[in-house]
Structures are given as structure tokens and as C-alpha cells.
Structure 1
Amino acid sequence: MRSEDSCPFCSAREDCFQLFLSCPRSKNFWFFLGLDLRSLLPENGLEQLWTTNAI
């Protein structure tokens, strides 16, 4: 378990949005699945995934 709050992959401050959507490693995963999540904004949080059609 890590005590710092930085992402181990990109060293950005880690939060839910960063972990699942904005980290380059996460972006590569979503791109591989064919989802374009570039329009999602951190200030709107993960909830926007339910209202935005990324396909």
C-alpha cells in the first residue's frame, strides 16, 4: 500500500477521475475498447459517464 497520492504510472495527483479516465494508461485501455472519452471533464466527475455516450 502506497502512502503518497501520486499515480504510479504518470505521477499526476491521483483521484477517481485521474485513476479511471485521465491517466495515460487508462486512456490507452479505453481507446483499445473503442471508447472516445476526450470530451469528459474532470470537474464533472465520473458521473458524466452515465450521461455521455462515448461510443
Structure 2
Amino acid sequence: MTLPDADPEQRRALERCKSYGWDLYRDGALLYSSPPLTLSMTRRTGDGALVVKGSPS
């Protein structure tokens, strides 16, 4: 998952968490809801995007 890194605190908050989940919507309708994921890595790409990596808990 790649998120814009407009807020530097967002990355720090994600690094402190142990698990996360995400939902995918299109036109207001829920298409997919992830299972709980264990955070394994966060990093910023050269263009400033925040990359979050995790695996099912």
C-alpha cells in the first residue's frame, strides 16, 4: 500500500502501531476490507510517497 506522505506524523504513528487494516472503496461502496495486518516496514520513496508493508496477523 502506498500513501501520500503529506503529514510527517502519519509515518511516525504507523511505525508505533503493531497492526493495521485498510478498506478499499469505489464510489462510496466498500469493495474490500483487509484482515488485521502486522506492520513489518514503512519507508518513503524518492517522490515522497509513504510505503507500508504488512502481513496477515
Name the TM-score, length of structure 2 as normaliser: 0.31
Greater strand content: 2
Higher relative contact order (CA 8 A, sep 6+): 2
Name the TM-score, length of structure 1 as normaliser: 0.32
Greater helix content: 1
